[in-house]
Amino acid sequence: MTRNAALTFTPTIHKDIYPAINPTIQPSLSHSGRSILVTGAGRGIGRSIALRYAEASPSTLILAARTSSELDVTEAEILALNLTSPPTIVKLVLDVTDGKAVARAASTIKNDIGRLDVLINNAGYSPEWAPIADGDPEDYWRTWEVNLKGVYLVLHAFLPLLTETHEKTGALVHVLNVSSIGAIVCIAGASAYETSKLAVVRLTQFVQTEYGAKGVLATSVHPGGVLTELSRNVKEIQPFLTDSPNLAGGFFVWLTSQPRTWLGGRFVSVAWDVEELESKKDEIVEGDKLKADVRF
């Protein structure tokens, strides 16, 4: 699939939040009573995801990142929304590549909150692009550590609480793993980032395969091309950074607002129009589309 084909899967392509995915407009996007965890919630796309979820009235919003001061800013922006039913905010100063710290965080959330309905693995890292022989091996591996090991460790620690929540409530629980359009293209110099994001797509498929019967619905998502600290340093992609981070925020809220089991284990882009995406449901399922498979 080419980059363009992937970005234009629905005829209408969005660059900013729109009514169908805006929780301040659509009551059907409510997450009332639910507990939501967003990693990488201190800035960039993760902050917008947190803000838009806050507007969807969850009971608890758990914000994770390493930089405490940035989590404070996200919290302050949520409070500044002056919501009629603001969520309880829990801030986790956490390095997702530290297995012990992630396990401790899961135990804290289980004890203090007791449920997790939506897990969003958004924390990510991109090195400067370089051909394989030219780049820094440590930085290459750092990319895999944050983008794959981090996602794996968070899944490893939190899947038990997710499945327990499903058992208690009877409702499906959600895993959204932030991948990238980079997962499905092969651009010279981008192998560290693009291979790690392709691995995230396949890992998401494994979550669905292994935990679907336990009530988990897992989807990997391209969050748009957004100017952030991560993307600002990658000079090759500057012309593509034209999306609002709120597009991801709204789309994520839409994605977890109802159980769309036909998207389980699949890859989607926030740029796609949600109504047109729903109209392609049969085509997606019957064609076994939006999966990271080697085709013959």
Q: Catalytic amino acids?
A: 193, 197
Closest CB 3 distance from ligand NAP, rounded Å: 12
Give the Cα separation of 232 and 118 in Å (integer). Answer: 29
Nearest to 292 by CA among 223, 195, 175, 155: 195
Reduced to 3 states (helix: H, G, I; strand: E, B; else coil), residue 215 is coil
Give the Cα separation of 164 and 175 in Å (integer). Answer: 14
Which residues form the interface with ligand NAP (CB under 6 A)?
Answer: 39-40, 42-46, 65-67, 70, 94-97, 122-125, 146, 150, 178, 180, 222-223, 225-226, 228-231, 241
Give the Cα separation of 200 and 152 in Å (integer). Answer: 9
Q: What is the token pair recorded at 136?
A: 């820094």
Closest CB 21 distance from ligand NAP, rounded Å: 17
* Closer Cβ to ligand NAP, 25 or 130, answer by number: 130
* Closer Cβ to ligand NAP, 65 or 116, answer by number: 65
* Closer Cβ to ligand NAP, 58 or 223, answer by number: 223
Question: 252 and 122 in contact (C-beta within 8 Å)?
Answer: no
Closest CB 204 distance from ligand NAP, rounded Å: 13
Residue carrying structure tokens 């499945």: 163
Reduced to 3 states (helix: H, G, I; strand: E, B; else coil), residue 5 is helix
Give the Cα separation of 57 and 87 in Å (integer). Answer: 6
* Closer Cβ to ligand NAP, 166 or 197, answer by number: 197
Closest CB 102 distance from ligand NAP, rounded Å: 9
Q: What is the token pair recorded at 200?
A: 């995230």
Closest CB 182 distance from ligand NAP, rounded Å: 7
Task: Give Cα 177 distance to the centre of its chain.
Answer: 4
Q: What is the token pair recorded at 295?
A: 């085709």
Question: 35 and 14 in contact (C-beta within 8 Å)?
Answer: no
* Closer Cβ to ligand NAP, 57 or 195, answer by number: 195
- Provide the pairing of β-strand 35-39 with 60-65: parallel
* Closer Cβ to ligand NAP, 39 or 246, answer by number: 39
Q: What is the token pair recorded at 218?
A: 């897992």
Q: What is the DSSP letter of 148?
A: I
Q: Cα angle at 177 between 271 and 90, to 5 degrees?
A: 110
Closest CB 37 distance from ligand NAP, rounded Å: 12
